[in-house]
């Protein structure tokens, strides 16, 4: 699986590629990441990639020409169709990223990421070249690098051999094993910390009761913090009001 990232700041990705469990995906060759700086495809002495917006207003807009030249160079190198390797632009306009999308991308051949900066990207380039727009939520970031990192990290966790236990991610929040709900609370040693004891059920050794407790807690936590997820799953009638 290969990801090509168009960014003015490729150095922002370095720690992510060399640290943590996701590093295994790069070391093993499961994931290949290539960086492309649109300045390398800009004309003129100053290698400009942005200009003032038509109609006035604050900020600068990334120009279509260097982005298009960069994109064409990527497509020439990878030699895969646009359908197989689409261009993703991280933007507030996009659909909010969720676990179902992450699962889909984790089984793909890869993608090209466009990390915008400044006030955004010339709309003509978006209309002509962008296949998907993705947002992390209803807030604004300085660029698309953080969303790109978020998508890479979330999909890489799903690849075989990346986590110590290949079943681990199946019990994460939002996954099918949890009916798309939030995960339950977790505890470790010591059994009592600052007067707070681990729930007795988790120490009982009764696996069926532990599974039931975890499901109840997952429902209760989701109902309290993300009631919208309860509505989506149709599990509203199964909520158990119980503190961990």
Residue ranges per structural domain of the chain: 2-156, 173-238
Which residues, at least 6 apart from 26, have a Cβ–Cβ distance to it below 8 Å?
Answer: 17, 32, 33
Which residues, at least 6 apart from 201, have a Cβ–Cβ distance to it below 8 Å?
Answer: 209, 210, 213
Which residues have a catalytic role annotated?
Answer: 92, 119, 157, 172
Task: Quote the CA–CA distance of 88 and 67 in Å, as a whole number.
Answer: 13
Tell which CATH architecture fits domain 173-238. Answer: Orthogonal Bundle (1.10)
Give the model confidence (pLDDT) of 166-215 as tens digits: 555 444 544 555 678 888 999 999 999 999 999 999 999 999 999 999 99
Give the model confidence (pLDDT) of 108-140 as tens digits: 999 999 999 999 999 999 999 999 999 999 999
- Assigned CATH for 2-156: 3.40.1280.10
């Amino acid at each position: 699986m290969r990801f090509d990232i168009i960014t003015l700041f490729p150095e922002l990705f370095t720690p992510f590629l060399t640290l943590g469990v996701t590093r295994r995906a790069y070391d093993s060759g499961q994931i290949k990441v290539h960086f492309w700086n649109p300045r390398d495809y800009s004309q003129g002495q100053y290698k400009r990639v942005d200009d003032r917006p038509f109609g006035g207003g604050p900020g600068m807009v990334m120009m279509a020409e260097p982005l298009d030249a960069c994109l064409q160079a990527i497509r020439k190198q990878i030699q895969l169709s646009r359908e197989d390797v689409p261009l993703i632009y991280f933007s507030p306009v996009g659909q909010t990223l969720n676990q179902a999308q992450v699962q889909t991308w984790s089984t793909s051949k890869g993608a090209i990421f466009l990390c915008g900066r400044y006030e955004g990207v010339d709309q003509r380039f978006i209309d002509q070249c962008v296949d998907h727009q993705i947002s992390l939520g209803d807030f604004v970031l300085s660029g698309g690098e953080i969303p790109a990192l978020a998508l890479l990290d979330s999909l890489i966790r799903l690849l075989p051999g990346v986590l110590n236990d290949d079943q681990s991610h199946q019990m994460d929040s939002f996954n099918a094993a949890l009916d798309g709900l939030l995960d339950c609370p977790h505890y470790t040693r010591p059994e009592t910390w600052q007067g707070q004891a681990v729930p007795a059920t988790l120490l009982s050794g009764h696996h069926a009761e532990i599974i039931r407790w975890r499901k109840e807690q997952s429902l209760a936590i989701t109902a309290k913090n993300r009631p919208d997820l309860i509505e989506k799953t149709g599990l509203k009638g199964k909520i158990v009001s119980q503190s961990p």
